Amino acid sequence: MEIVGKKSQGLSVTTLHDDKTVIISFNDRSLNFYVTDSLKEALKDAINEKVEEGYEHFVLNLDNVKIIDSCGVGLIIVANNVTSSHGCKLCLSNIKPFILKIFEIMRIANHLSIFDQEDDALQAIKSGC
């Protein structure tokens, strides 16, 4: 029996040296059961690697993400837990209204730093949010 689904297209990681900030963007349209296992390890590895390099702020850009399920929400929670365990700040940006509504229904929106645009998150970091 073959499992139907596509493999993850991974993450894009951009570093801003002056602000000690890392921008992580998902390349997948869907954060669902089929892609989250491989993404979880890649995300944890990327965060841990950048923390070791001295980065303190992380922006998770969800601009490409159109669909999310409970596994995808779990991925966001993992990112939040990994960054906070290192004393780092995680901001989320570019979240579609449908996904934001899911965060609100699950009552996790209040536990996340959410910004409309990536630039808003970066400005908040510069301001010392």
Strand residues in the chain grouped as ranges (E): 11-16, 21-26, 30-31, 57-61, 67-68, 89-93, 113-115
> Where do we find the tokens 């841990």?
48
pLDDT of residue 3 exceeding 90: no
pLDDT digits (tens, 9 = 90+) for 21-55: 999 999 999 999 888 888 999 999 999 999 999 99
Enumerate domains of the chain plus CATH numbers: 12-126 (3.30.750.24)
pLDDT of residue 4 exceeding 60: no
Q: How many CB atoms lie within 10 A of CB 53?
A: 11
Compute the average pLDDT of residues 88-111.
96
Task: State pTM to two decimals.
Answer: 0.90
Least-confidence region, from 34-43, 88-97, 110-119: 34-43
